[in-house]
Amino acid sequence: MASRKLRLRTFLIPLSMILIHLLVIDIVANLYAQSYPWLSVLAGWQNEAAGLVYPDTPSLILSEYPRITVFYGLILIPIYSLILFFRHKNRQDAIWMGRPRYHDLVPAVIVSVGLLGVTNLLFSGLLRLGESLPSVQRLLEEYLEQAEAFSPALGYGWLIAGITLVAPISEELLFRGIIQGELRRAMPEWLAVVTQAVLFALFHMQAIQVLYVFLPALALGAMYALTRSFWVPVLMHVVFNFLGSVVPALVLGHDNLSQSVIWIEIGCAAVSVAIIPYLYHRHRQG
């Protein structure tokens, strides 16, 4: 690898790519909202004769977000894939696409489940804190309102396609692929991992999301660096989003099952404390 050196592109490429990502989401969401009255009838989502009153644009975007995610993913995933294809031709470490090994995938899944356990513990603490701090309570209410986008109101098919598959793939291509690949040209790998995690957290903008997303992003970047396989963080991200959106909807109203899921996640969190150091030492020796 060429000598590491901070350049203008070190900052310009990650920030510009994040802005482009957000801009595409915003354009697609607003175009979708404007087209929804006729698109919903054409696609058979609504009956024109029903005379329904459509919600305002922000509410519509929130309720239709899984579909919107699929549509913006159809734009961003091919673009990111082409960028990484040409970068990989010029620099082999631009993205690591090696086949994931079985003994990397199992720990990766355990870490993903454990990250949900940590997230549950964090939310429990925030809920307690919100009881005495109105500012924290307001942020939690704002987050819960946005989290309605992750409900199965449109059906589990759209939820899985959008939130569980398309969103993780597009975000992994951007953050672990393009951004972490760019950062490692100018800084040590560990610092590239931390920096992309900070950017990924800030990318979510909402304060509660920024808080809980940082640790998963750190783990995804670390596992990518350790395993040298882009497919490992993709799998982890898919598992994390599935457990955070689909599973809660499936166990809703089943208290015993819901508690069992939470305890499994917390148990995996405890095991995960040893997994990443173990993988680090194993890969250094290998």
Q: pLDDT tens digits for 41-56?
A: 777 666 444 445 567 7
Token pair recorded at residue 157: 């098919």
- What is the C-alpha separation between 46 and 50, in angstroms, rounded? 8
Strand partners, 229: 97
Of all residues in the chain, what percent carry a pLDDT higher than 70? Answer: 94
**Domain range list for the chain:** 8-285
Average pLDDT (228-247) is 95
Q: Tell how far CA 135 is from the center of its chain.
A: 26
Predicted pLDDT of residue 54: 65
CA gap 9, 181 in Å, rounded: 12
User: Which H or E run includes 150?
Assistant: none
Q: pTM for this structure?
A: 0.92
Rounded-to-integer distance, Cα 172 and Cα 282, Å: 24
Per-residue DSSP letter, 229: B
